[in-house]
Chains A and B, each alone.
Chain A
Amino acid sequence: MNLEDYHGVWVFIEEQEGTIAPVSLELLGAGRRLADKRGVELAGVIIGNQVKPLASTVFEYGADVVYVYDQTIFKDYRTESYMKALLHCCETYKPEIILFGATSTGKDLASAVATDLPTGLTADTTELDVEEDTGLLLASRPAFGGNIMATILCKKYRPQMATVRPKVMKALEAETGRTGKLVEEKIDIKEEDIRTKVLDIVKATTKKVRIDEADIIVSGGKGLGSEEGFQLIHRLAETLGGAVGASRDVVEAGWIEHHHQVGQTGVTVTPKIYFAIGISGAIQHLVGMKNSSMIIAINKDPEAPIFEACHYGIVGDAFEIIPLLIEQFSQALEKEEVNHVGEV
């Protein structure tokens, strides 16, 4: 393998029903930085059915080139068909780096493609950098349940591949009207050759709180004592107009569903305000919330590790503090309303 033959940074653009996954836009931002440092092009790869129009968005978020595979066979995501398209694109244009969102689809596709190429794949990356002259990708990730961070290199194989956690990279501000080179590709695959069929796609029926998109999150931990006690968390969240988060122990106790879990094996969140109430602050929880703009911790144990990770800490009993917060906040809001009315 001649490493010199490989050029450019790629981002796999994940799409569902005509919408680009936010993580793909974040990766375009990260990819732009890497590409500029290397002095190479940044490309987006879109695979799907009727996806060509998405190219303009990909350019606006920083790509110089977009490769599109727009064919009916790509209507549903299936590992085998998408993998073939991406392998075809890699063989034709030889990128030096490819980034994927660490989502169900991104991880599935990246693992399959890396095996076939074959090359190295770094999982769940949270930090990315590149050596300017050698082009070596420095991909860092948590491992051992978040107890350590590791920098993973792939020295002798190309492309260098990584899946990257949603919400840890920043998307660029979209530059309206920015365009680039659109490359349309096609591959020949027959439906009979694909061994899986998507029979149905079922959207979660319960109106799922997207805690990864919330501005305010009130998270509760085992310290709330019971499912009943945990209701206080729901009430505070409701008062503040925020979403409910939870530690893993709460999810395992069955007080709330898994999609509320914040952390290493849950969701990574970046709200403007994060409340951690009755949560000890285990490393696996911290990795999921440490990028919140303001972290407020309430815990009755002054030694709890969460206090090392917060901006404001209150040592005290949740059962005493939450009702006070709810009451005072409602009052404060009412006052504001009166003021607003007064101004008119």
Chain B
Amino acid sequence: MKRGNLTVGEVVRQGLLLLFGLLALFPLYFSVVNSFKDRVQYAENLLDLPFPAHPENYALAWAQIQGPLLNSVVVTVASVLATLIFASLSAYAFALMDFPGRHLLFGVTFALLLVPEFLTLIPLYVQIQALTLPSNYLAIILPTIAAGQPFAILVLRAAFEAIPRDMLEAARLDGAGHLALLRRIVLPVSLPVLVSVAIIRLIPVWNEYLLPSLVLDERHRTLPVALVAFQGGGAATAVTPNYGALMASYVLAAVPLVLLFAFLMRYYIQGVTSGGVKG
């Protein structure tokens, strides 16, 4: 690559991009610096670095959200894994098996993309309350798996169809059944796509607020629900909350995503920019 191609236009463009990029990240900066301030420091200045720092805010925040953080991890990991397993089985059937009603059933799962969330939210809430589940976690995991199916099946089916047939034929001649084919060839070959789907699905599941706030009891509630509860009833309330501890809880809520994207950013970008999600 050639250096010295810094024309005026190029400098202006990069300046603009840097400015907007940093502005988009500003809420994170704001949360981090203010998470180390006590009430007086917060009231005095919102933007500067805190001296002396107050890391004890983090102990306060951690006490509040360690349970919900763990719940969020359990719910998210279980939902995304189960979404992938269910969707892989279905995508395999749609892509590589021949059976009556194939197109009809695919249409039935695909049509779910058209069912809006607000339509099913309240009936789901009523339905789940009436259901006796072995664990309260399942109250959010099961509907989340269902919600993830159309997107995951759509993308995985395309990936499975693209696998060279010779490869599958050779394995079949060796006597491999469908499950063996799926486990030993189809899934390993499609690993990058599986990771992409997982990580694209993971974001909305981690951020989900409405249904968890309705169906999870206090012991099982997830991070978004806990953050709202911790904040205490909306910005319209008169009492000034302890902002330092609040901001610390926001930072803690972002840590798992930061760790994840430190390693898997590439797969997110590939997943969104490659064919799968195009209209």
Q: Indicate, yes or no, whether A interacts with B.
A: no
